[in-house]
Amino acid sequence: MKYLPIASKLFTQNRERFIKKMKPNSIAIFPGNPILPTNGDAIYTYRPNADVVWLSGVIQEKSMVILYPDNPDKNAREVLVLIRPNEHLEKWEGHKLRKDEATAISGIKNVQWLDAIDAALQVMMHHAEHVYLNTNENDRLDTSLFRPDLLFVHDFMKRFPVHKYERSAPVMKELRAIKTKEEIAVTQEAVDITHKAFRRVMQFIKPGVWEHEIEAEITHEFLRNRATRHAYDCIIASGDRARVLHYVENNQQCKDGELILMDFGAEYGNYCADMTRTIPVNGKFTKRQKEVYNAVLDVHNFAKKILKPGISIIDYTAKVCGEMEKQLLKIGLITKNDIKNQDPENPAYRKYFYHGVTHHLGIDVHDLGTRVLPVKEGMLFTIEPGIYIEEEQMGIRIENNVWLTKTGSIDLFKGIPITVEEIEAAMKRK
C-alpha cells in the first residue's frame, strides 16, 4: 500500500457496530475477493472486497473475516484469515502479511491461515445457530456476470445445510452508509489530494493541451501524495464531449474558447473522493458560459442547503429538480409553455439535466446506502447537478462531497475554487 498506516480503531469500531446487529449465537463470514484472470495468464488489477476492508483494513487477496461474538472460545470471537506466506510465492508477488502485521492493521488478535481454517470453522459452525453470509446486493449490479460471492454461498450452504442463514448485505448497507469521524478523516485525505491535483491542472491547462495530458498531471499528483489510485475512471471532457456523462477516452485536444469538464477523485486508504469542476480552457469564461455555470452553481448551493437529516432522497431530488427548472427558465433553455405542456414522465428539464443529483460515497465511489428512506446524520453524499446543451456544445457539472451533521452538512471540499471568480483567479496565476 502507498498510503500511511490507518489506526486500527477505525476497523475495530466497524466490527463492533456489525456485531451489535447480529442475532444471538450467530456467526458472520466475509470472504475476500480472489484475483481474477484477463487473457492468458494475465490478471486484472486487484480490488479488495469492500466489506472485508471496512471490517479489517486488510487489502490482501483472499482475506476473510469471521465474527462469532458468542463463541465459547473467547479467543476466537474475531478471526482474520490470510493466505499463508511462502518463499516461492513472495519471489513472484512480493511480501505477504504476517500475523503480527495483520493484527496491527485490523486490531484482530486471532489470525489464521486460509489453508488451515476449515477445521476451526467447522467447530464454530457446530456451535452456531445463525449464519450471516455476504453477497453483493448493489441495486445496479449486473447479475448476469460471474459472481465469486455466490459461489462461496452455494458451496457453504451445501456443506452446512441445516443452519439458519441470514443476509449480511442489508446490515452492511445500513452501517456503511453512516460514516464515523475516523472514516471521514481518511476521506478528507483523499479530498485534499484531489484538491492538490485540481490546483495543479488549473495551472497546466491552456489551449492546445490534450485531455490525456491533463489526466497524466492528475495521476502524477495523486501518486506523489500517496493515493492508491484513481477512485474511478478519470473523466476529462472538453467541448461537446462534456455532455457524455461517462466519457473516459480522454484523447482529444482542448481548444481555445471551450470549457473542460473534469470529474476525478483520489482513493486514499481505500476511501474515495469524487469531485467535478468545469473550467475554461483559456482561463476566462465567456458571458454565456458564466451564465450557465452560475445556474449550475445556484442549483448546487440550493441542494447543499436542503440536504439535511430527515429528508428522503426522493423528496430531495424532486426539490433540486424544481430548482433546476427555475434556473433553466432563467437562462432561456426552457419556457413556461414547455413546462405547461410537459410529459410528467419526461419533464422539460430532463433535456438539459439527465442524471441523478447525488449518491452515497465511501469505500466504493457509489457506496452503500438508502435511495428512498430519509437520510441520516453521518451519511456522506456527493452533490453534482449539471446542465448539458447539445445546441451549444456545452456541458457543465459541479460536484462536492458533504458529510451530514445533526442540522446540516460539512462540505469536505470547502476552500477549493468553485465560483467563476475563484477559478479565473486561480488559472490567471500561471
| Across 182-211, average pLDDT | 98
Distance CA 207, CA 197 (A): 19
* Sequence-ordered alpha helix ranges (H) in 61-180: 87-93, 99-106, 117-127, 148-159, 169-177
Q: Is the separation of the CB atoms in 30 and 134 below 8 Å?
A: yes
Give whole-number Cα distances, 132 to 20, 31, 54, 120, 170, in Å. Answer: 13, 11, 16, 17, 11
Which value, to the nearest 10 degrees, does the dihedral of the CA atoms of residues 119, 123, 128, 129 take?
A: 90
Identify the three-state secondary structure at position 430: coil
Specify the CATH number of the domain 9-176. 3.40.350.10
Residue 279: beta bridge partners?
260
User: Which range is least confidently modeled, 102-116, 136-150, 253-267, 389-403?
Assistant: 136-150
Give whole-number Cα distances, 331 to 38, 88, 327, 328, in Å. Answer: 49, 66, 6, 5
Q: How confident is the model at residue 337 (pLDDT cuts 50, 70, 90)?
A: very high
Residue 424 cell numbers, joined: 479565473
* Sequence-ordered alpha helix ranges (H) in 34-114: 50-56, 87-93, 99-106
426 φ, ψ to 5°?
A: -65, -35
Q: Does domain 181-428 have CATH number 3.90.230.10?
A: yes
**Angle 128-49-250 from CA coordinates, rounded to 5°:** 165
Distance CA 175, CA 228 (A): 24
- The set of residues, in sequence order, having a beta carbon less than 8 Å from that of 313 and lying 6+ positions away, is 358, 370, 371, 372, 373, 375
Identify the three-state secondary structure at position 414: coil
- CA neighbor of 239 nearest in space, from 272, 262, 264, 269: 262
422 φ, ψ to 5°?
A: -65, -40
Q: Is the separation of the CB atoms in 107 and 11 below 8 Å?
A: yes
pLDDT at 203: 97
Q: Is the separation of the CB atoms in 308 and 407 below 8 Å?
A: yes
Amino acid in the structure at residue 389: I
Distance CA 259, CA 263 (A): 13
Amino acid in the structure at residue 78: E
What are the extents of the domains in the chain? 9-176, 181-428
DSSP 266: E
Distance CA 197, CA 222 (A): 7
Residue 269 cell numbers, joined: 486508504
User: Which range is least confidently modeled, 141-150, 171-180, 328-337, 362-371?
Assistant: 141-150
Give whole-number Cα distances, 387 to 232, 273, 309, 329, 360, in Å. Answer: 22, 22, 27, 12, 21
Share of the chain above pLDDT 70, in %: 100
Q: Residue with C-alpha cell 465474527? A: 67
pLDDT tens per residue, range 67-119: 999 999 999 999 999 999 999 999 999 999 999 999 999 999 999 999 999 99
Round to the nearest angstrom and report the end-to-end CA distance of the chain.
34
- CA neighbor of 60 nearest in space, from 88, 86, 83, 91: 83
pLDDT at 160: 97
pLDDT tens per residue, range 373-404: 999 999 999 999 999 999 999 999 999 999 99
Distance CA 125, CA 401 (A): 42
Neighbours of 197 (CB within 10 A): 28
Q: How confident is the model at residue 144 (pLDDT cuts 50, 70, 90)?
A: confident
pLDDT at 12: 98
- The set of residues, in sequence order, having a beta carbon less than 8 Å from that of 188 and lying 6+ positions away, is 412
Q: Is the separation of the CB atoms in 55 and 49 below 8 Å?
A: no
Domain 9-176 identical in fold to domain 181-428 = no
pLDDT tens per residue, range 274-300: 999 999 999 999 999 999 999 999 999
Q: Residue with C-alpha cell 496565476? A: 429
Q: How confident is the model at residue 430 (pLDDT cuts 50, 70, 90)?
A: low
pLDDT over 90 (residue 1):
no
pLDDT tens per residue, range 20-45: 999 999 999 999 999 888 999 899 89
| Helix (H), strand (E) at residue 164 | strand 164-167
The overall average pLDDT reported for the chain is 96
Distance CA 353, CA 339 (A): 14
pLDDT tens per residue, range 217-237: 999 999 999 999 999 999 999
